[in-house]
C-alpha cells in the first residue's frame, strides 16, 4: 500500500517509543493520525506537538468497547481508515512458575487481546473500503527463546501466528488489504532501556532483580548479550521507517535486525532435528 497525504492511520501504544515515531513519520507524510494509548497525559502532549492533523484518543486496547470508540472517533474526525498499527504492548518477567497470574493476564490482554480487538474492529472497515493495511507489532522474542520473559515472548509468538492466519484469510476474502507482522530487535524504547539497565545498571545505581544472586550469576552470559544488544539498539525513528517501508512493499514479515533473526533459524533447526527431520544446510 502506497502511503499518501490524506490517508488516515490509527496507531496504538502511541504515547512513547515506536508508536510516537510512527505517528510522527506518518504525519510528516501528510497522513492524518489517530493516536491511542492509556497514558493520556503523554498522548495528549505528543498529539498536540504533531499538529492539527493528529488526534489523541485515550484507549485501553484490552477493552474492545474502547477500541470500537477509537474507530468511531477516527472515522468521525477523518472520514476514512487506511492503516492500522497494533503496536500497544507491555511486559512481565521472572521465572515462569513465579509470574503472578495477574501479570500473565495483563500481558496477554494487552499484547494479544489488543491485537485481536484491533483486528475485530478495524478489518471489517478495511474490507468494506477495499483497501488498507494492518500492522501487528510482534518481536524477535516471539521467534526465539525468552528466558525469564515467557509472558512477553509467548504473546509475541501469538501475534506472529495471528498475523499469518489473518494474511491467509484476507488473501481469500480481501486481497487488497495487506498485513505485516513486525519483529523488532533492540530499539531504543522505554521497555528495552529497562531491560538493558537490568543487565548493566548505570554507574552508581544498585542492581534490582527479581532473581536470586546465584541465578543472576548463571545468567551472566545472557546479561552480557543484552548489554551488547543495547549497543545496537536502533533509534525509534529508524524503526518507524522500516515498518512503513514494509507497509509500502507489502511484506508480511519484517525485522529491524536481520542479523539477529538468525537465532530464529537456529531454533527451527533444533525443533526439526528433534522431530527427526534433517536441518536445512546453511
Summarize pLDDT for 11-38 with one digit per residue, the tens: 999 999 999 999 999 999 999 999 999 9
Mean of the pLDDT values across residues 212-232? Answer: 59
CA distance 6 to 167: 26
Mean pLDDT of the chain: 89
Mean of the pLDDT values across residues 27-50? Answer: 97
Number of alpha helices (DSSP H) and beta strands (DSSP E) in the chain: 11, 7
Mean of the pLDDT values across residues 175-198? Answer: 78
> Residue 278 — very low, low, confident or very high, per pLDDT cuts 50/70/90?
confident
Greater confidence (82 vs 93) lies with 82
CA distance 1 to 223: 40
Dihedral sign computed on CA atoms, order 89, 91, 97, 100: negative
Pair 50, 23: CB distance under 8 Å: yes
Mean of the pLDDT values across residues 127-147? Answer: 94
Q: What is the pLDDT of residues 235-263, one digit of tens each?
A: 999 999 999 999 999 999 999 999 988 88
| Catalytic annotation, residues | 152
Residues in the chain: 282
pLDDT at 178 over 60: yes
Mean of the pLDDT values across residues 155-171? Answer: 98
Question: Where does CATH 3.40.50.720 sit in the chain?
Answer: 8-186+235-256
- Alpha-carbon distance values, 91 to 110, 146, 193, 232, 257 (Å): 9, 12, 13, 21, 20
CA distance 27 to 240: 12
pLDDT at 193 over 50: no
pLDDT at 220 over 90: no
Please check whether the domain covering 8-186+235-256 is classified as CATH 3.40.50.720: yes
In this prediction, residue 93 carries a pLDDT of 86
Q: Is the pTM of this model over 0.75?
A: yes
Pair 82, 1: CB distance under 8 Å: yes
In this prediction, residue 145 carries a pLDDT of 79
Q: What is the pLDDT of residues 64-75, one digit of tens each?
A: 999 999 999 999
Amino acid at each position: 500500500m502506497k502511503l499518501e497525504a490524506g490517508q488516515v492511520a490509527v496507531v496504538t501504544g502511541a504515547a512513547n517509543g515506536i508508536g510516537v515515531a510512527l505517528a510522527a513519520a506518518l504525519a510528516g507524510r501528510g497522513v492524518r493520525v489517530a493516536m491511542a494509548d492509556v497514558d493520556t497525559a503523554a498522548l495528549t502532549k505528543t498529539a498536540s506537538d504533531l499538529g492539527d492533523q493528529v488526534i489523541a484518543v485515550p484507549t485501553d486496547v484490552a477493552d474492545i468497547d474502547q477500541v470500537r470508540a477509537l474507530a468511531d472517533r477516527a472515522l468521525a474526525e477523518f472520514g476514512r481508515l487506511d492503516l492500522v498499527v497494533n503496536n500497544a504492548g507491555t511486559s512481565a518477567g521472572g521465572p515462569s512458575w513465579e509470574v503472578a497470574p495477574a501479570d500473565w493476564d495483563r500481558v496477554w490482554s494487552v499484547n494479544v487481546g489488543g491485537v485481536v480487538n484491533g483486528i475485530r474492529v478495524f478489518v471489517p472497515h478495511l474490507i468494506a473500503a477495499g483497501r488498507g493495511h494492518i500492522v501487528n507489532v510482534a518481536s524477535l522474542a516471539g521467534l526465539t527463546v525468552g528466558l525469564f520473559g515467557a509472558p512477553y515472548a509467548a504473546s509475541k509468538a501469538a501475534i506472529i501466528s495471528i498475523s499469518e492466519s489473518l494474511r491467509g484469510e484476507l488473501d481469500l476474502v480481501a486481497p487488497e488489504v495487506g498485513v505485516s507482522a513486525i519483529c523488532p530487535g533492540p530499539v531504543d524504547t522505554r521497555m528495552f532501556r529497562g531491560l538493558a539497565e537490568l543487565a548493566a545498571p548505570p554507574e552508581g545505581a544498585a542492581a534490582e532483580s527479581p532473581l536470586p544472586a546465584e541465578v543472576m550469576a548463571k545468567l551472566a552470559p545472557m546479561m552480557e548479550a543484552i548489554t551488547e544488544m543495547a549497543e545496537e539498539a536502533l533509534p525509534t525513528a529508524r524503526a518507524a521507517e522500516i515498518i512503513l517501508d514494509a507497509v509500502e512493499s507489502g511484506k508480511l514479515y519484517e525485522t529491524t535486525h536481520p542479523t539477529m533473526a538468525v537465532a530464529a533459524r537456529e531454533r527451527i533447526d533444533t525443533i526439526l532435528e528433534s522431530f527427526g527431520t534433517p536441518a536445512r544446510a546453511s
